[in-house]
Amino acid sequence: MEIELDFEKRYRLVREIIETVVLTVLMFLVIRLAVQNFNIDGHSMEPGLHNTELILVDKWSYLFRSPTRGDIVVFVAPPNPSQDYIKRVIGLPGDIVTIKGNAVYVNGVLLNEPYVDPHNQGNPYPSFSNRLVPPNTYLVLGDNRNGSSDSRDWGCVPRENIVGRAALVYWPLGQDNNGLLPGVSSVFANVPAPTGKVGSVCQVINARPATLGPATPHPASPNNGVDMNMLFAVLMPGVFVGVRRRRK
């Protein structure tokens, strides 16, 4: 009888371990498909996002919908495909965009952009009028207009270059922007459908499928190089087994 009970306990333990490993692998794959962490390198998105901050990128949403005006997106950089950039979507496919100095017009409407600090205003690139955003591309700008390499410089971003939407700042703690990034849909609420004369077409260079690759490090904190998703996958088996045993 004792031998049978001992075998049954070992069988349950082995089964729990197998179930936990399978569940952990599935959760890890789902997480990797849905979100990924990204290390901001530079000041092009000040004052909303800061240099060396770590954010979570939502890769899931764009499987079901297209990027919208105001979204902050991470993408394979057209001027340097070995790097990933982060900028804000200003123009959608078919939009007609004009930039004259600090003023940005989308389909003839001047944008009032609260996310741009007046101290960071500026335009180191030539102004342009009535520039058409081609199909399946997006015109993007950095919030730090005086210190950003963006669509004013190298053109529009192909859809296939976009990795996902910046959703959450999670490190370092204690900054002025921890948590979910605020929505700015009201800025673009009065933008009409594109009409009017087209002056030029936004150039498109180096289209490529988007992957958040090794070109940009994604540490979990400034003190180590552990990927947050990997850390989650390592901790999950112990948590799962502990919960199951507690219930029993």
For residue 8, which phi and psi values (nearest 5 degrees)? -65, -40
What DSSP assignment string belongs to the chain?
-HHHHHHHHHHHHHHHHHHHHHHHHHHHHHHHHHEEEEE--SSTTTTTS-TT-EEEEE-SGGGTS---TT-EEEEE-TT-TTSEEEEEEEE-TT-EEEEETTEEEETTEEP--TTS-GGG----S--EEEEEPPTTEEEEE-SSGGG--SHHHH-BEEGGGEEEEEEEEEESTTSTT-EEPPP-GGGGTT-----S---EE--B---------TTS---SBTTB---HHHHHHHHHHHHHHHHHHHH-
**What's the full length of the chain, in residues?**
248
Decide: 107 and 87 in contact? Cβ < 8 Å: no
Annotated active-site residue in 44, 59, 148, 151: 44
Burial grade of 174 (CB within 10 A; 0-12, 13-18, 19 or more): exposed
Annotated active-site residue in 59, 87, 148, 151: 87
Strand partners, 6: none
Q: Is 87 a catalytic residue?
A: yes
Q: Is 9 a catalytic residue?
A: no
Query: Which residues are known to be catalytic?
Result: 44, 87
